[in-house]
Amino acid sequence: MISSCCRFALLLILLLGMLSTIGVARAHEHYEVVVNANVTARSLPSNSLRAIFGMRQQTWPDGMPVKVFVLADDAPLHSSFCKEKLSAFPYQLRQAWDRLVFSGTGQAPTRVSSSEEMFDRVTSTPGAIGYLEKSKISERINVLQIK
């Protein structure tokens, strides 16, 4: 009886431990939302970010046109970004873009095939926004804080 109680307690501690590490992992994401160096905004509310990646918001607060870059729907980084920053799943974003593109009410984001291409396109396109692993970020690109 006592030993089973001990085992249960041990299991509970292990589970809680796992949950807390997951929490820590989520709190320290391995990527950032990045923008072209000419974008003056330094932070953005999360629902504005959602509108930008939902292709419904075409301008920055200062009026400059936004250019959105994304990885493929099944890229792990795209999936993490959707879930953690937009609180949506990749399939929902795809559905939203398809609704715009095939009803004539909007355009799709530009797809890039790798983080290297993401870096190149975001650094070379005025008004660009994308996401990038922290290890690939340099001073040539700005990080946007999401509130």
Partner 1 sequence: MFSRSNSRANNPRTRVATLLAMAAIVWSLPAQSQVLSDTIKIPDFLSATAARMSALKLPDTVQVHGFATQGYLNSTGNNNVFGNSNQDSGTFGFREVGLNASVQLRPNLLISAQGLHRHAGLGSQDIRLDYGVIDYKAYSGENSQFGIRLGRIKNPLGFYNETRDVAHTRPSIMLPQSIYFDRSRNLAMAADGGHIYGETRTSKGDFFYQFGVVMPYVGGTTTEAALLGSDRAGHLTSQVSYIGRGIYEYDGGRVRLAVSGAQTNVNYNRGADPALLSGQLQFTPIIFSAQYNAERWSLTSEYAIRHTVANNFGVALPNSATTGESYYFQGIYRFTPKWEGVIRYDVLYTNRDDRHGHAYAATSPATRDPHSRFAKDITTGIRWNVTQSFMLAAEHHYVNGTAWLAPLDNPGVSSPVGHHAQHWHLFAVQGSFRF
* Footprint of partner 1 (CB under 8 A): 45, 47-48, 50-51, 56-59, 61, 63, 65-67, 72-74, 83, 86-92, 95-96, 98-99, 101-108, 110-111, 113
Minimum CB separation of residue 103 from partner 1 in Å reads 4
Nearer to partner 1, 88 or 137 (CB): 88
Closest distance between partner 1 and the C-beta of residue 90, in Å? 7
Query: Least Å distance between CB 12 and partner 1?
Result: 26
Q: How far is the CB of 123 from partner 1 (least distance, A)?
A: 15
Please give the order of strands across the beta sheet that includes 110-111. 43-44, 142-146, 31-35, 128-133, 67-70, 110-111
Residue closer to partner 1 by CB (options 23, 104) is 104
Question: Residue 92 and residue 54: Cα distance in Å, rounded?
Answer: 10
